[in-house]
Amino acid sequence: MARKTITDDLKDDLFEPLEDALARVRPVLEMAEIAHILSVSNGVAEVAGFTDLRADELLVFAGDVLGIASSISAGRAGVIILGPTEGLRPGDPVRRTGRVVDVPVGAGLIGRVVDGLGRPLDGGDAVEVEERLPIERLAPPIMHRAPVQVPLQTGIKAVDAAIPIGRGQRELILGDRQTGKTAIAVDTILNQADSGVLSIYCAIGQRASAVARVIQSLREGGAMDRTIVVVASGEDAPGLQFAAPYAATSMAEHFMAKGRDVLIVYDDLTRHARAYRELSLLLRRPPGREAYPGDIFYIHSRLLERATQLREDHGGGSLTALPVVETQAQNISAYIPTNLISITDGQIYLSPSLFEKGHLPAIDIGTSVSRVGGKVQLPAFRAVAGNLRLMYAQFEELETFARFGTQLDAETRRKLTRGLRVREVLKQREHDHQPVPEQIAALMAATEGLFDDLEPDDVAEAEKTVRKAVRSEVPDICDRISAGEKLDDTDRKALIEALQDALSGAPPTEGDDGDA
């Protein structure tokens, strides 16, 4: 009897945990429609076997690789793969999900670096999901939109004075490679420290090292705690590069619907167009101009039309878009740049010739334009910089004629002298963000002729003196400028006198003593 008892006890000890585990496990019947891969290449796959597949539906391949149903025909479908294709083989099963591609949205994304599907890339914990939104969404209807009237200050004098940007605007940044396009976009993000604007930087097809430098600049500038970085690098699948800007826009729209002001940078849409061209050719769609598919205009228009200023009864939020596009050999009339110029509300053009001359930022004021214009400038800024573009254009034309060595009259020499000083004032170092009152003071000093007696090389130091003086001598005027009040004649006179007093202590330059 003792032996039997021991055996029974041993049996209970061995099998009771197994019986408990079996009791917790219940078979689940999962219904799914399964198809199989016919062929797979770098970025796309052809599948067959689905009887009821929807356009843009999310599919799951082996290894949890995702795909988007794109080209659907009888019995077959072309699928854009959102991940590596090395592990996929013909004959592997493909499963429907019954939903379109969506991404997590909400405050949990702020300060994070994620990929085009919202998955973290910064080594942190999984993103806390408030809700999920489809990456493809309809743009707000016209009746939900309000006029663009509130300025989005970039801290860059050439932009804020001559090419002002408003919240809800779409302003294109274009130029040849290595001319400072990303620097202007990043500086705009860094300048939003006190504006309450949330920023999203979407890197499309960039090198990992270039993205890392941008992230480092944002961290050093203290902007990562109010920025979301969405990355689809050049090493990622072309499907992820195609989906990334739409995903970033859905993340931005979540905050816009809650009344927040959001700034989004697409860097850059040239690579986005190339990724879509690659996918379209692999899916055997008919090529058009420059081998781009026929809907290349539509992929960017439906993206950028989602940027807007909402009316107060629809949340009052805004989404400002700064798309970046790369030109080749200064050809702004190429296919993709002209498409984007026609979609956006203006463009900031960076000239390689100005860059080579050391005029940084290399913004060509004559070619650049903001179709919103002075409507989004503060009244004081508009009063000072209202005729800046015209004056600068006249100066550049006179400068061209002066190279022929013709004899110039006194008025022409005065315009050339002043134009050279204005050009020096418009130069600005990277990450040197200037508040609006300081910008107004520097531009007023240049346009009113306070720098005319200085050598061009001395203008930068004199500008620092002017900026320091306006902060210390007339703080009340600075506060009224920042509050959006107009400057009357008394304020303007007081401001000019303060600038003159600040500059009077500067040592005289050659020609100032009348001996010249």
Report the run of H or E that residue 459 belongs to, with start and end.
helix 459-473
Question: Of 481, 429, 459, 473, which Cα lies nearest the Cα of 183?
Answer: 429
Residue type, 366: G
- Tell me how far the alpha carbon of residue 46 is from its chain's centroid: 34
Return the structure tokens found at 127: 């993103």
The set of residues, in sequence order, having a beta carbon less than 8 Å from that of 439 and lying 6+ positions away, is 157, 160, 161, 381
Catalytically active residues, by annotation: 371
Q: Nearest-CA neighbor of 222 among 433, 427, 428?
A: 433
Contacts of 382 (CB under 8 A, 6+ apart): 374
For residue 268, whether the previous peptide bond is cis, meaning omega lies within 30 degrees of 0, is: yes
Distant-in-sequence, close-in-space partners of 11: CB < 8 Å, separation ≥ 6: none
Strands (E), 212-368: 227-232, 261-267, 318-326, 346-350
Detail the DSSP E strand segments found in 124-280. Answer: 131-134, 172-175, 198-204, 227-232, 261-267
- The residues facing 324 across adjacent strands are 173
Please report, for residues 146, 150, 259, 435, the alpha-carbon distance to residue 316 in angstroms, rounded to integers and kept in the order given.
Answer: 8, 12, 5, 25
Rounded-to-integer distance, Cα 289 and Cα 239, Å: 22
Place of tokens 């130069």: 427
* Side-chain-side CA neighbours of residue 237 (13 Å): 24
What is the C-alpha separation between 493 and 37, in angstroms, rounded? 76
CA-nearest of 269, 264, 444, 420 to 343 is: 269
CA angle 421/347/351 to nearest 5° reads 50
Both structure tokens of 303: 């993206």
Contacts of 457 (CB under 8 A, 6+ apart): none
* Residues 199/227, Cβ–Cβ less than 8 Å: yes
- Match 């004899």 to its residue by tokens: 407
Residue 338: CB atoms within 10 A of its CB come to: 14
Angle at which helices 489-504 and 475-482 pack, to 10 degrees?
130
